Structure 1
């Protein structure tokens, strides 16, 4: 059982125990004529009820989780709305598409993540077929040390005008990246590798990746890919049709 599930169950159990305590406190004040034996019997009835109907606890736990998710989604939505300019215009990261677009799509991704690789074709399609869309690429390396190296490399590739080429080539690679593979791919897309290595050490690149990761953490992005469209955060590879639908929703609701 994961630590997260244990924590959530512990919170739920604590809530149940608190509810029981409040219930029996109320009973105590409302019906002081109950004897200790009667109070104990009431507790036994509750315990037996939950033992015979464990699905009630499961359903309550699911309902509690759904409530917490809804609360968190609203909090994230408000953060995105209030900090939209900062989130959509991060210092040091790369954006593609129409700079005057009516919709900005933000993608959080990792170069070693299979689901990020799967979403690559969707993003490329949107950039090629939606003339009024802007895409901001959030470097959020989570899967391996080589993911961080890859993010440094693609941001350094901006200096040679090759960000999107290297970005696409790295996400198209179907095996775990390492530094040698990254440099081989960089060379194949026409980058000067020696210049690239020097540029990768820039403090600005480290700061850009750190800022992107901080924003991801604030929004609760714990896996890739994730997307922001309008004021909504979508987690996971949701597919081209869903991306297009969400973009159209933003346009319709303006």
Structure 2
């Protein structure tokens, strides 16, 4: 494309090769060159489409490389932080990390897709990062989930995580207490732990990690060495997992 455009402009302006150095052009030559470019692009608008597509490809490649560097730099905090819940197959060959918010509509939309991916694949390690960014109800839910993990263990957390993802309505202390009672958990102990430093430290670490990763919304996924910002259908996630295995 570049060679064709270059030759066309030379022909249309009747300028020598060295004259396409804009700094060496006279005002008249610059004007002629500008008119030639305008005429050519009007006659061949597909050139602009090709150029835009190429630019987008380069930008996407640069972003992917930057994401890969961020993942490598923050690998320990992403995959082995010591406090995040790990589900799926803990020995899986690909790890998916999800930054999630229980009041996020797209997190709830992604929830069944992720579950299907984990069940149908069977070889994916799944890490959840509580990342409440949508207000007071989000924070209450995240604090409750982390408190459940710390007080009652991973199995209880897995149940509560599912409950909160399926929950519709306002999240309040009363609704969380009822949820704890339904799951036969110690509601008083959980209400107390929610406001303690152990829970705050987990959320603070997740916020700082998200900031370093350039994550500002939910859901956000790290799939092996690739970043996926936002909701994606099951098929797209399956393709990314397959690409990571390749």
1:187 alignment counterpart: 181
Q: Is the 8 A contact 2:22 2:30 kept in 1?
A: no
So what's the TM-score if we normalise by structure 1?
Answer: 0.72
1:98 aligns with 2:94: no
What is the correspondence of 1:128-207 to structure 2 with a 5 Å cutoff? 128-158=119-149, 159-161=151-153, 162-207=156-201
Call closer, same or farther: CA 1:211–1:170 in 2, change over 3 Å: same
Q: Compute the RMSD of aligned alpha carbons.
A: 3.3
1:245 aligns with 2:239: yes
* Whole-angstrom CA distance in 2 between matches of 1:193 and 1:56: 65
What is the correspondence of 1:1-254 to structure 2 with a 5 Å cutoff? 26-29=21-24, 31=25, 34=26, 38=28, 41=31, 45=35, 64=55, 67-158=58-149, 159-161=151-153, 162-251=156-245, 253=246
1:126 shift after superposition: 3.9
1:81-134 deviations in whole A, cap 9, x for unaligned?
A: 343233111232211233322221111111001111122223333444444322
* Whole-angstrom CA distance in 2 between matches of 1:202 and 1:237: 32
1:168 shift after superposition: 0.8
Q: Is the 8 A contact 2:79 2:127 kept in 1?
A: yes
Call closer, same or farther: CA 1:223–1:28 in 2, change over 3 Å: closer
So what's the TM-score if we normalise by structure 2?
Answer: 0.74
Structure 2 unaligned residues grouped into runs of 5+: 1-18
Q: Tell me, what secondary structure is at the counterpart of 1:111? A: coil
Q: Which stretch shifts more, 192-201 or 90-99?
A: 90-99
2:5 alignment counterpart: none
* Whole-angstrom CA distance in 1 between matches of 2:79 and 2:49: 40
Q: Is the 8 A contact 2:140 2:171 kept in 1?
A: no
Q: Tell me, what secondary structure is at the counterpart of 1:108? A: strand
* Whole-angstrom CA distance in 2 between matches of 1:176 and 1:25: 65
Call closer, same or farther: CA 1:47–1:76 in 2, change over 3 Å: same
1:10-39 deviations in whole A, cap 9, x for unaligned?
A: xxxxxxxxxxxxxx995443x4xx3x6x37
Q: Is the 8 A contact 1:170 1:185 kept in 2?
A: no
Structure 1 unaligned residues grouped into runs of 5+: 1-23
1:189-242 deviations in whole A, cap 9, x for unaligned?
A: 222211001111232322221222222222222222122221011122222333
Q: Tell me, what secondary structure is at the counterpart of 1:86? A: helix
